[in-house]
Structure formats: structure tokens, C-alpha cells
Structure 1
């Protein structure tokens, strides 16, 4: 049977990106439930929102690249991030942010030139530009007397 609605080839990258993101969300959610008990009460699929000027996805390598004014929101882990570029390596379950990176999690913040987030470990690795340092601001609760 012939397809009634023609799909222009220009939409194929969008369809591939959507399929990869859906796969990534499905892949990420089991570990969220394991490492973050509060996520168990929510649905089993946890979204990660990526906004940028340009995005591309490679279905063969499982790498998603976002460029230009990148904004990432990962609500189940209370993470918000901005950068010039971001790459998600789905097979390694690793997110690499480059260029004026700022990450905020639970009110704590970190700035660096490059930052890698290891999803399964819930760990950030930050590196500065040459001759600079990584900057972090942490909120520390005061004990009441």
C-alpha cells in the first residue's frame, strides 16, 4: 500500500533525532530508578530536554550533537546546564558539554570550559580553559542550635 502522506526527505533528520531521543530516555530511566529512589514514584521514562540552535543525531553511532546556545534540563536529577555545544554519547551514557559551561544542580553551580557528566555515576568532571580555574558554588545547610 502506498503512503498517502508524502514525507519530504528534509524531515528525516528530525525523525531520526526523535527516535534516538526516545531510545535514550528509555535507556536512561532504569538507572534513574535504581540510583534515585524519588524517581520511582514518577513514570518510568524521565525526559531530558535539549534546546539549541542546531541539533544532529547519528543513528549508527548513537551520538547526538547540539550546537549554539545549548540549554539542557534534566528534571529528575534537578540539573540545568548551558553551553556552546553538547554531545550525548548514548552507548557510554555520557554527556559532554563544551564552551562556557554552567551547570546548576539543587542550587549548587559549577562553571568550566568543558564538563563531562557520567550518567550512571551521577558525577561531573570539569576542566577549565588554559590559565584559568573551574569555579563551583555550593549551598551548605546551617545546623540550627
Structure 2
């Protein structure tokens, strides 16, 4: 069975931070995916319309309506394309990228996530800018009642 799919598929990348191993499953029956899913929160799940994996290069490519969920780092992202370079432990998202992490968000044309460093590098589209929204607490707040923060934006709201 080919990994490339023309229908919505789920692609599970086991990313134990300390082990550095990768496990790719696609097109498996749901019960098999559940059995092979790591029980820890270190797994990164990538969903997209089409996915391809190259075992020689260690590059996994997802295209079309890409959704990334990485609970270990509290990261959710959407993009047109994602490429995971397993040897470098680097995720490159491109095409209207939106990342949400613990209420903070970033929007760019291209974003690279360096897994081992836990940091993003964002690049805008030509003649545009990267947009970031950060939740900032004010230690000088005089109110004893906590401020109610409205629910965050839905994942990848249109600008």
C-alpha cells in the first residue's frame, strides 16, 4: 500500500525527544494505529490530503490542508505543506502557516521548527511581515480579581 494518498489520511510521527527515533504509519486501520501510537505525549501527529515518505533521505512530506498537533510542546499548526527532516529533527511548514502554542500565535509564509532547540524561525511572504501575538501578564495589575481572557482564536483564522 502506497504512503501517498489522495484522501485525508493521518500520519503519526513518533518523536520521542530523547530517543530520536521516527515511526511512520499511514493508511493503517484505526485499531492498528491505536496500537502503534506511543502512549507518551511525545508524538507529533500530521494530517493532510497527501503524504509521502522517503526512507533513504528520511524526509516526510505532507501536502494539502496540513494540520500538525504536538501535545508535548502544546503546539498546533496549519499550513499548505509540511516537510519533516527526521535526521535533522526539523519541521518546515510553508504556505499560509499558522502556529498556536499556549495561547501565543504566529503567522508567516514559511516557518521552520527546530525540534531539539524548541524554537521557530518564521519568514514572511514578499513585501509582507510575520505576525506574532503573545499573551503577556502584567505584574503591575492592581485588580485582585483575575482578568478573564476571551477564548483564543480558532486554529488558523483568516487574517
Aligned to 2:13: 21
Q: TM-score, normalised by structure 1?
A: 0.74
Size of the aligned set, in residue pairs, is 118
Q: Is the 8 A contact 1:80 1:104 kept in 2?
A: yes
Query: Unmatched 5+ residue regions in structure 2?
Result: 5-9, 21-38, 143-159
Selected match of 2:18 from 30, 34, 37: 30
- Superposed CA deviations along residues 20-42 of structure 1, whole A, max 9, x for unmatched, are 934xx2xx33179xxxxxxxxxx
Structure 2 Cα separation of the partners of residues 80 and 44 of structure 1: 17
The question of 1:93 aligning with 2:89 is answered yes
The question of 1:108 aligning with 2:100 is answered no
Q: Is the 8 A contact 2:58 2:86 kept in 1?
A: yes
Higher helix share: 1
- Superposed CA deviations along residues 94-136 of structure 1, whole A, max 9, x for unmatched, are 0000000000111000000000000000010000000000000
RMSD (Å) for aligned C-alpha atoms: 2.4
TM-aligned CA distance change 1:142 to 1:45, over 3 Å: closer
Structure 1 Cα separation of the partners of residues 79 and 42 of structure 2: 22
Q: TM-score, normalised by structure 2?
A: 0.67
